[in-house]
Every structure is written in C-alpha cells, then in structure tokens.
Structure 1
Amino acid sequence: KLMALEARPLLWLALWTLAVPARTAPGEEHCTVERRADLSYAEFVQRYAFSRPVILQGLTDNSRFRDLCTRQRLLASFGDSVVRLSTANTYSYQKVDLPFEKYVEQMLHPQDPISMGNDTLYFFGDNNFTEWASLFRHYSPPPFSLLGTTPAYSFGIAGAGSGVPFHWHGPGFSEVIYGARSRWFLYPPEKTPEFHPNKTTLAWLRDTYPALTPSARPLECTIQAGEVLYFPDRWWHATLNLDTSVFISTFLG
C-alpha cells in the first residue's frame, strides 16, 4: 500500500456512510453514472461527449504505469524532486513547494474532517513534466479526444478523505491508478450545487449531502482502479478519495 492509514473515527464513519448509503445492501455500490465497456468513438461523441458523464471500462492497459506508482518506486525515482502543492478548496489559490519525499512522509495522511480547504494541502496538478517524464511516458491516456482540443495531464497523490470541492472547467478524463477508489459527485452546468468553496468535500458530505432531497442530489459514483471517468465541459464536480490514491486526469483544452 502507498502508506499505512491512521485511524480517525469521524473520517471512517463518513466514508462508510458514503460507501454503503441507506437503502443499499452491504457490498452494493450506489452509482448513478453509466458504466460502458467496448464503447465506440462514434457513440461516445453522440451520446456523452457534450451531454453527460460516463465511466469507461477496458479502454487502456496502464498496468506498467501502475507498477511504477507504488510508494517505494515513486520515492526512489522522485524523492528529491520538488513538487508544488495546492490547497483543497474550490479556487486553490495557495501554492507550497517542498520535496516529494517530505510530502509523502509527513503530509500524506487521511483528511482531518474539521480542517478547512485552505488549510489542507495536497499534490495534484502543477506537475513538472520534464522532471517526471520517465514516469509519464508509460501512461496510456484514453484514446478518445474532442475536435480542436489538446490533452494535458494532471497527476496527483493524496490521502484518504481528501479531494477537491465543487468546481468546473473544460472537459476531461480522470483515472485512479493506485489505491483503488475515488468518489465523484457531478452536476450539469445549469444546476449549481449547494456548497462552501472553502469547505472540503468530506465536510460537504457530512454537513450538506444528508439534507439534500433526491431531486437535488448529484450524479455520483465510485471510480475503481483501471476505470476512466469522462466529464463534459462546464460540469460541476467534486472528488473524494476513499483510499490513499495515485490518480491522473487528462484535460481537453
């Protein structure tokens, strides 16, 4: 595993409530986003690219990339590299630079349920693609693209319970590489979610989500390692890592 997780009762209570919601039998996942295997590019463009998210299965084989993303291998290859951390709030204004080894050894821990977004730092985006080129060249991105866009990677590593609160940008793909599970919440552009931009996704899950009426709830699903989530342009989305995870997004801009 990437790291040994600390026991934090409030965190695990929240994650358990999410993983097994009311009216769902233990072991049965609550998911309102379609999963598709063997999806053709023509159908992707026609049904999903401009209208709704979809989870894609079996598109790529990133087993080699996954093997290179263990804690031991990442520290051996990039421990001395300086990485840029962002705050886990909607706008991510604050940036902090420090050695990757220090981030993994001292800061890669489960999210504190009472911390605000601007007090929570994690590694996602702001990647030095020259310094990390030996890793990224082994990644196989989703084969689908949109006319007139150029793909750009955003690589990250974060602890259980971490994530980014609701925000939106252009279309893209997201994939969990190592660590197994990432929970996503999505709203269409015309439906602004109820959230505080400086509260973490974990706090939103605890304080806001339970009071939402069925019609006000987002589309949601847990992305497993090896699956790829596609989200269209300007769709609101928030993320929650259920495990300590390595993940990568491909933004189409």
Structure 2
Amino acid sequence: MISMCAILTGCYADEITEERFDKEYRLKKPVLLKFRNGAKDWTDPEKWTLKSLKSTYGQWMLYSGSSLEVVRRGGNGYLGSSFEEYVDGMMAEGQDDKKEPPYVFDRSFYNDTDLSDTLNLPSFLSVDNNLEDSLFFLGSTGTGISFHNHADAWNAVIFGCKRWFLYNIDQNPPGGVSPGYGQLDWYHNLYPNLTKKEKPTECIQEPGEILYLPEGVYHGTINIGDTIAIGIQKKEAVTDAMKYIYEESSLREKGETTVIDRMELMFKVLDMYPESAEINLRLGSLNQEINQMESAESYLEKAVQIDPYFVMALLTLAEVKAKLEKKDEAETLMKKVIKLNPNVWDGYAKYGTFLKENERFKDAAEVFRQGIKVEPYQKAFYFYLKEMEEKLGNKEAARRVNQQLRRLEQMEAQEELREKRD
C-alpha cells in the first residue's frame, strides 16, 4: 500500500530490474520512473510533437471531453473532432489554470497509428494488446481527469507535465468519485480545505517520465502546459477487491442478474474496506433499487459521515429521504450539493425534479435554467423547463425553450452523421 507522504519520489528506470519491480512495486505502490535522456530513452520525441502529429494525423478523428464527464462515461471522450480542429480550436482555449477546456482521452487513436513502433520500453512495462487497453492524451493547461481507479496501469508523458493526486483504495478521495467534481473544481474549491490526513500523495510528472499506478489506486490529474501522453491499462483486475468491483459493474451494464447478486459482491468489498465511502454509496444505491429505503438511508448516511464532501452520496441520500417523506431534509441536502459544487449538473437535475414532483413549478423552472448554464447539452433540462413554462402558462417562453431543444437535437443528428462518414 502507498505510504501517504506528501510527495511521491521518483527513481531511474535503469536502476530497476524486472525482479525488483515485481517485488517492490507491482500491485503494491506507485513509482515515478525517470530516464537519463528523458523521452529519448524510450521513444522518438520528434514523431510526437504537435507539429508532426498534426501533419500526419490532422484529419483523423479524436474524442475529448471534460475531466468529470470522461470519467462518468467510463473513461471515454465524447466530443468528436479532427486532430487539426482540436489543436487549432478547443486546445487553444486553455489559457489559464482556472478554465478547463476539453481534454483528449481517446481509446482508439494510438492503436490505429504507427506510434507504437517508436516505443522501446523497460521490460517490466511490456505491452500486450490482448490484455491491455491503450489511451492517447492531449490537452492544454488546466485539462485533466477526475478521480477514478482501475486495474494496473502506467502513464507516459512525452511533452508537458502532469500533476497527480493519489489515494489508496481504502481512502476515497474527498468529494468522492465521478460524478462529483471536475478536477480543477476539486483543486480550487476543495483541496485547500483538506486536513493533512485528508490530502493526497502528489507528484509532478515531467516530460519523459513514466508513472506506474498499481491496481485500485484512486488518481486524478491536472495538466501543466500543452501535454502529450499515452497510457496503458490492464483490461482485467487481479486483486480480489477490484475483481468484485469490476464484476458488479459488468453485471449492472449487462442487466442480466439480480440486485442481490450485485450486493453480495459489494458486501465482500465492504468487509475489506468498511470505511470506504464509495462502497457504502454503492450499497445504498443498490438498496434503493429494490426499494429498501431504510437500509439505503443507513448506508448513504455512513458514506456522508465518512466523506461530508461526497456529492453523489449526498444527492442519492436526498432522493432516498424524499421517498421516505423527509422532504425538508431532502431539499436541504440538494441545496448543499449545489453550494458544494455549483458546476455539477446532477445537482440541478435532481433538485429541479424534486421541485417539479412537489408542484413547485416556478422554483423548478429556475433550477432547470441554472442547469442549462452548467450543462447546455443536456436535453432533459430543456424538456423539463419547457414543461414548467407550460404549467406556468408562459407559452412564449415554452416555445423558445422548445426551439432550443430542437436545435440541440439537430446538432446531435449532424454529429451522428459525421461519425458515420468518418
């Protein structure tokens, strides 16, 4: 397990044998690998410059997104653009560290290129495409990825720098995992309030360095300068806890099993990590699915007790409180979420729906308007705002909202056509 010191120190890769790596680091603790000649020791940096990539792959499709939404979507970018469009447009937006432009987080681009032919990695970082996924990262200052964890992985920076924030699997990041905080929101609004015990292990990954991340370690990143990097991640978990978590997620996606089967897997993880806010949230949500609201409330209150900043635990607890007819408590929790993080659209969606169901149409309309400002591409906000305006007798306002909804649907249709052409 990681020693929760403030700074993760590095060591030179040529001082680590495969035997030493397996004994000291693999599945045990992260290590920042340095190279005597930087990236030249393991690749050809000239083929990775923005100029070179743009010249060779300028019309290739890339997928990018915000640090929060990429994690929400299972580690997949969702905004399609050509390489050239991204570099000349979206990437150019990143001028300061308080604004988060879209970040390329693409699972296909690297494997489809010839860039893998430039790699000459240490033997203990060998790549097997049958067992591992590859990821291509590209972004400017302020881009990054929100907290998440997964199977064994390593991340290599060719140009730019990454600031890493790391937590053990048994210490969830304050604020929780996605969807909770964009990484810049977390850094500017929550990080300064953390106690020494709550703060993460950190490091700055310089050009040419490779960071190894053991399975289960929670991590979030913020890029410093224009950054180009790749990541390799195991497809399957090998530790018991992550096996159970992967299996529960797979069963949920397939929808081919009962909630009880999924709960049994989470109970096994909870036995290992009883103070895991995330696992308590999962069990609370599973109890909510089978309408066991008192049990759901208990697990969710434990999650919030462990982590008072945990946005999704607070929101889910609010939903459960509402179903238990504890409406005042539910509304207080929803307002707290929006105050904690006004940039997460889930808070407006849940609170607006709560107000709508309680026939507070004017208040609901205002909350849905706020939600649109935060997430202008979320169609549900327009649909419900239109409904609220109609309830209030505001026909002209309802018509304008409906126009916005149709434009959004047209944009989505055009994007689908473009993806099919490409």
* Residue matched to 2:223: 241
Residue matched to 2:46: 67
User: 1: CA distance between counterparts of 2:83 and 2:90?
Assistant: 10
Q: Partners in 2 of 1:234 and 1:135 — Cα distance?
A: 28
Contact 1:166 1:237 in 2 (8 A): yes
Which amino acid in 1 is paired with 2:173?
A: P
The answer to whether 1:168 aligns with 2:149 is yes
SS at 2:184 equivalent: helix
Residue 190 of structure 1 deviates from its aligned partner by 0.5
Aligned to 1:113: 98
- Residues 60 and 142, structure 1, Cα contact 8 Å, conserved in 2: no
CA contact (8 A) 1:34 1:54 kept: yes
Q: TM-score, normalised by structure 1?
A: 0.77
Distance 1:61 1:143 in 2: 17
Q: Identify the match of residue 35 of structure 1 among 5, 10, 25.
A: 10
Which of 113, 138, 143 matches 2:118? Answer: 138
1:190-201 matches, cutoff 5 A? 190-195=170-175, 197-201=179-183
| Contiguous gaps of at least 5 residues in structure 1 | 1-29
Give the drift of 1:129. 4.5
Larger Rg: 2
Q: Distance in 2 between matches of 1:225 and 1:208?
A: 28
Amino acid at match of 1:36: C
**Aligned residue type for 2:63:** R
Give the Cα–Cα distance (whole angstroms) in 2 for the partners of residues 248 and 208 of structure 1: 28
Task: Measure, in 1, the Cα distance between the counterparts of 2:102 and 2:99.
Answer: 14
The 1:131/1:230 distance shift into structure 2, 3 A limit, reads closer
* Closer, same or farther: CA 252–168 of 1 in aligned 2, 3 Å: same
Partner of 1:20: none
SS of structure 2 residue aligned to 1:210? helix
TM normalised by structure 2 equals 0.48
| Counterparts of 1:152 and 1:204, CA distance in 2 | 27
Give the RMSD, CA atoms, in angstroms: 2.7
The residue correspondences of 1:55-134 to structure 2 (distance < 5 A) are 55-58=32-35, 62-63=39-40, 64-89=43-68, 90-92=71-73, 95-108=78-91, 109-110=93-94, 113=98, 120-129=101-110, 131-132=112-113, 134=114
1:221 aligns with 2:203: yes
- For residues 145 and 78 of structure 1, what CA distance do their matches in structure 2 show? 26
Q: 2:139 aligned to 148, 151, 158, which one? A: 158
Residues 62 and 140 in structure 1, CA contact (< 8 A), matched pair in contact too: no
SS in 2 for 1:165: strand
Q: Residue 223 of structure 1 contacts residue 229 of structure 1 at CA under 8 Å; is this kept in 2?
A: yes
Preserved CA contact (<8 Å) 1:62 1:139: no
C-alpha change, 1:35 and 1:208, in structure 2 (3 Å) is same
CA contact (8 A) 1:59 1:142 kept: no
Equivalent position SS for 1:247: strand
What residue in structure 2 maps to residue 12 of structure 1?
none
Match of 1:50, SS state, is coil
- Deviation of residue 127 (structure 1)? 2.1
Looking at structure 1, the residues matched to 6 and 123 of structure 2 have their Cα atoms a distance apart, in angstroms, of: 24
Q: Does the aligned pair in 1 maintain the 2:163–2:204 contact within 8 Å?
A: yes
User: What is the aligned counterpart of 2:189 among 207, 210, 216?
Assistant: 207
Q: Structure 1 residues 31 and 136 mapped into 2: Cα distance closer, same or farther (>3 Å)? A: farther
Q: Which has the higher helix share?
A: 2
Deviation of 1:61 after TM superposition, in Å, equals 6.5
Equivalent residue of 2:107, what SS? coil
CA distance in 2, matches of 1:215, 1:157: 32
Q: Deviations over 1:160-179 (max 9, x none)?
A: 01100100111111111012
Structure 2 spans left out of the alignment, 5+ residues: 236-422
Cα distance 1:140–1:31, how it changes in 2: closer, same or farther (>3 A)?
farther
How far apart, in 1, do the equivalents of 2:48 and 2:111 lie?
A: 17
Greater RCO, CA 8 A, separation 6+? 1
Fraction of identical pairs, as percent: 24
Contact 2:156-2:208 at 8 Å conserved across structures:
yes
Give SS of 1:166's match: strand
Counterparts in 2 of 1:244 and 1:129: CA distance versus 1, 3 Å: closer
The one-letter amino acid of 2:171's match is K
Distance 1:199 1:129 in 2: 28
Question: d(CA) in 2 for partners of 1:249 and 1:130?
Answer: 11
1:21-62, Cα deviation, whole Å (9 max, x unpaired): xxxxxxxxx962131221122121111112211111238974
Q: Distance in 2 between matches of 1:78 and 1:219?
A: 36
Show the 5 A alignment for 1:15-34: 32-34=7-9
Normalized per residue, which structure has more strand?
A: 1
